[in-house]
Amino acid sequence: MNITVKFFARYREAVGVDSERLVGDFATVNDVRAVLAAREGFEVLNEQNLMCARNEDLCQLDEPLADGDEVAFFPTVTGG
């Protein structure tokens, strides 16, 4: 399965790339997150309040994936 992963805001700065392609067996968004978070420099993806999207729709980490999907990770947004 081919997945495009995008990183936004502080996560993009932490990992040093805007996006990348992953090839592998990923059943859920969390599978992608776990593979990436295990890499050096990508530990930020272990944050408790991580937000994610599949094909530009907000989702939970247990969201199922299909070949060609786009997954995005970004920190929660707070404001005042």
Q: Which residues contact 79 (CB under 8 A, 6 or more apart)?
A: none
Domains of the chain: residue spans and CATH: 2-74 (3.10.20.30)
Determine the pLDDT at residue 79. 56
Side-chain half-sphere of 47: how many Cα atoms within 13 Å? 14
Digit-coded pLDDT (tens) for 37-52: 999 999 999 998 899 9
Of the chain, the percentage scoring pLDDT greater than 90 comes to 91
Contact 14, 46 (CB under 8 A): no
Whether the predicted pLDDT of 78 surpasses 80 = no
Identity (one letter) of the amino acid at 10?
Answer: R
Q: Residues near 26 by Cβ (< 8 Å), separated by ≥ 6? A: 1, 3, 32, 35, 65
